[in-house]
A and B are shown apart, each in its own frame.
Chain A
Amino acid sequence: MPEVLRIEQLTIDFLSAERIAAVREVSLQVSPGECLGIVGESGSGKSQTFMGALGLLPRSARATGSVRFEGREILDAPRAVLNKIRGSRLSMVFQDPMSSLTPHLRIGTQLAEVLVCHRGMSWRESELAALRMLDRVRVPESKRRLRQYPHQLSGGMRQRVMIAMGLLCEPALMIADEPTTALDVTVQAQIIDLLRTLRHEYGTAFVLISHDLAVVGGLADRILVMYAGRVVESAAARDLLRRPRHPYTAELLRCVPDLSGPPLERMPSLPGQPPDAAQPAAGCEFAPRCPFAVELCRAQRPPLRRLGPGEVACHFPLPS
């Protein structure tokens, strides 16, 4: 089956006072209906990869490589082409639902506008479609909500509205960039539940970007771990969570608190800082923080290579 999204050798540089390498030679594919999780800490380039793919980078950024969406090259595509795809075939949900809705427009107007723009539907039909969509994302009292303004809704409600907006045109792919980070834990669980249900109802492919392995692990079929702008490991979610092959993934997993075990003295954490993106290292970017690093790791960067069912970029992957 052809991929919905295929990113090849995507590299993004920010050209400010110094050249900052945000994303390095990232390749990935998303199949129809698949849910791909992207995990990494702040600044690992996980969001920038998809911002670059959608043409949402600031002016100071340069992206090279290839991004094919439904077989069509969209990196550096003209704005008119992108505007046709964005919001209809390819939609995006942002981290902060508090500020992602325009404050002076009613919920109904904002939702309907997407259909009026992309489908050329009338305002009346669009509002009806918006109402049905609000019901599907489990917004209670959807009729009243249509007439309300964003500030009258709670955070979780607003994120549901954002998801509804993303699904209105039945996209082939929805990119959710940290959709639950700004919400409290109980609402987080509801949103994850909702995404899981919607995935089965619509058959939409999802890319779920998060720094939280627990969030991604509960939803994704396949997980991609990024560190310092590179993919360090990718595998089926089940394999990756059970048997991480890259030391970084293993360290991340160690940091997920386990409620079933005995109470901990202190939360485990990964010592050190991620490397400075302005000064690329010769060897493995994770070497300075890696408990297993040897001379080879500091001198030569390991390529991403196939290992068992997944891929890993490490000279000495952990045994399975």
Chain B
Amino acid sequence: MIIGFDRVRMEYGPQVALDDLTLTLGSRELTVLVGPSGSGKSTLLRTVNHLVVPTSGSVTLDGRRVDSFKPEDLRRGIGYGIQSVGLFPHHTVARNIAAVPSLLKWPQRRIADRVEELLVLVGLAPDRYRYRYPHELSGGEAQRVGVARALAADPPILLLDEPFSAVDPVTRLRLQGEFLSIQKALHKTVVFVTHDVDEAIRLADKIVLLDQGRLVQYGTPEQLLDHPATSFAGRFLGADRALKRLSRMMVAESLQPAYTATLEAGALTDFRNDAERFVWVTDGGGRLLGNLDLALLTQGVGPEGPLVPVADELTVSPVSSLREALSVMVGSGSRSLAVTDPGGRLLGEIRLADIEKVGRHRSSVAEEGR
């Protein structure tokens, strides 16, 4: 559904929370509203389900004004999740998730099936969590239930107001990742509020940058990072914009075939190396054993002696971001890293030069095209 804002203005007494904001959000896109506190991002979000009634201007869904709906009907068709979750403390997890389906008077059987499906979707084992009360959940679990509740009646639109900011950083990263994969499968029109730039860049299809109730910039994360519209946007996105851009790219996209050798029965076989001094050495099953300085081999030593094992934290997975890969390179002083799958098998390597090239390439594309 296309969400349109037309000269939306919101005043609280003398304070202007939204200053004649005009904006159209794309259907089935994940739009992140980001900005410092007081920028009006939450207020803007809440105009969509009519929890905030603008002083003037109009908000439309596929061209129909939101104030032309009965508020309850409008909201039952829009998923809603908030930072403090707001689970009903006197209802079980199952009943919390069932809130909107019960309001819509779904049959019991269908509600139970849907609850089960959603618990699985958000990664909570239905048998363990169905009958728990909110006070028996951790912060991360409560947030998952909150997201499940927002998705319950399969609404085309999802409004999420800082849903992951009350949990610890590790949990937040995991929740973000899981939410991204849910969104990849469901393709909802999502409006997501956060004050965390990294979260915005990680999740967004499009970013709306707000300041003092005004639209500063609207575009893809790459557009914002490459060409901040104002000095405020530049400051807000940070001096490490180039690194942030790398965090949107996956290692898999820049994966290079590695120079490898296979070590079997104490002898190097399947030598695929022409020029490089170092090779990655794997066992017969393709699992990474370490790297080898070929210069040492020429001195007549057997291959096991000079073989240097590679610590797990010095390898990256294909779904790691280029930013993480770069960080490992800087930390370890190496110019290339082994890329392994979860089973430890060598998939290829990622090189510093390629990361630099990708960064430059993206900027030049941005300069030409966007």
Q: Do A and B bind each other?
A: no
